[in-house]
């Protein structure tokens, strides 16, 4: 039975570890030390590495890990990650035979040019594109691309577990409450996430059902979000791309 375990890295990154029996794979190892320590403590053999995008806090540990373990490294074909052995993109599958696990690769550009997500076994590894109650900054793509990528993820089933790259949930919820003040699901989410964080627990994974109900970046066509974007802009816009761009800019400044 596959288990998914978060390894905290840096200040607020998670390296997601997939383990079954004595084998493990890691997603986005920004640093090697926490992975090496966990593998040693749990007596696990590393069998694969998956990368969602090229930012150093997601791939910085790969070189050191493959120096010790000769394993396949999956990652986006269109990004500068020199350690990739399996460059992938939309329509490809990342097969990890040793874990009996296989993931569909989805192209989700916007945060970076060729960011990918891995989807399988009811789980989604989405790096810095979709966050719990938020989304990544648009660094290398356009707001339109980012919104399309988020919409692609939002179309997955409600029960899909969302494993994103950072513990940003509480701050994201606080921003979301300004944008979507009447949303009771959001208020309830703040209470439950605060409880988890106060107990030192990760707020992740969330589910896509929760995200669709509370994440303002997935709700750009909702009247309350359009209204807030208009207030922020001091202008009337209704196009979801412009609404998305407005709340993304607002979040950058908040």
Q: What residues make contact with Zn ion under the rule CB under 5 A?
A: 55, 128
Express the helix, strand and coil content of the chain in percent, nearest 5 each. 40, 25, 35
Question: Cα–Cα distance between 102 and 88 in angstroms, integer?
Answer: 13
Smallest separation (angstroms) from Zn ion to the CB of 213? 25
Residue 166 annotated as catalytic: yes
Active site residue 55: yes
State in angstroms the smallest separation of the CB of 165 from Zn ion: 7
**39 or 164: CB nearest Zn ion:** 164
Whether 53 is catalytic: yes
The token pair at 146 is 């980012």
Write the CB contacts of 193 (distance below 8 Å, at least 6 apart in sequence). 132, 169, 170, 173, 203
- C-beta of 93: minimal distance to Zn ion in Å? 23
Active site annotation includes 86:
no
Of 28, 54, 115, 166, which is the active-site residue?
166
Tracing tokens 């998305």 back to the chain, one arrives at 244
Residue number with CB closer to Zn ion (139 or 232): 139
How far CA 190 is from CA of 114, 181, 183, 214, 251, in Å, comes to 32, 12, 11, 10, 18
Nearer Cβ to Zn ion, position 55 or 219? Answer: 55
| Catalytic residue chosen out of the listed positions 28, 58, 107, 115 | 58
The verdict on whether 58 is a catalytic residue reads yes
Between 23 and 58, name the residue whose CB sits nearer to Zn ion.
Answer: 58
Rg of the chain over all Cα atoms, to the nearest angstrom:
18
Among the options 54, 111, 115, 180, which is catalytic?
111
Q: Out of 54, 55, 115, 180, which one is annotated catalytic?
A: 55
Question: Measuring CA to CA, which residue among 2, 11, 6 is closest to residue 35?
Answer: 6
Q: Give the length of the chain.
A: 254
Closer to Zn ion by Cβ: residue 55 or 242: 55
Q: What does 24-81 look like in DSSP terms, one character per residue?
A: EEEE--S-SHHHHHHHHHHT-EEEEEE-SS--HHHHTTHHHHHHH----EEEETTS--
- What is the closest distance, in whole angstroms, from the C-beta atom of residue 89 to Zn ion in the complex? 18
**What is the C-alpha separation between 145 and 176, in angstroms, rounded?**
21
Is 128 marked active-site?
A: yes
> Which residue of the set 28, 54, 107, 128 is catalytic?
128
Question: Taking the complex as a whole, how short is the minimal distance between the CB of residue 129 and Zn ion, in angstroms?
Answer: 9
- Active-site residue, 57 included: yes
Active-site positions? Answer: 53, 55, 57-58, 111, 128, 166
């Amino acid at each position: 039975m596959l288990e998914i375990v978060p390894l905290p890295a840096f200040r607020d990154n998670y390296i997601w570890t997939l383990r079954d029996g004595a084998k493990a794979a890691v997603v986005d190892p920004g640093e090697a030390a926490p992975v090496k320590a966990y593998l040693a403590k749990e007596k696990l053999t590393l069998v694969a590495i998956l990368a969602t995008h090229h930012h150093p806090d997601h791939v910085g540990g790969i070189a050191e890990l493959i120096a010790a373990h000769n394993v396949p490294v999956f990652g986006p074909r269109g990004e500068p990650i020199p350690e990739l052995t399996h460059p992938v993109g939309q329509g490809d599958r990342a097969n990890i035979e040793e874990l009996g696990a296989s993931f569909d690769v989805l192209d989700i550009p916007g945060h970076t040019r060729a960011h990918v997500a891995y989807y399988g076994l009811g789980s989604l590894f989405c790096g810095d594109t979709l966050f719990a109650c938020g989304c990544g900054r648009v660094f290398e793509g356009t707001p339109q691309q980012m919104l399309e990528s988020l919409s692609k993820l939002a179309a997955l089933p409600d029960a899909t577990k969302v494993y994103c790259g950072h513990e940003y949930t509480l701050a994201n919820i606080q921003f979301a409450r300004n944008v979507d003040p009447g949303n009771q699901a959001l208020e309830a989410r703040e209470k439950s996430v605060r409880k988890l964080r106060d107990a030192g627990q990760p707020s992740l994974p969330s589910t896509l059902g929760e995200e669709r109900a509370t994440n303002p970046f997935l709700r750009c066509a909702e009247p309350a979000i359009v209204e807030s974007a208009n207030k922020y802009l001091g202008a009337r816009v209704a196009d979801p791309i412009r609404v998305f761009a407005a709340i993304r800019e607002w979040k950058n400044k908040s």
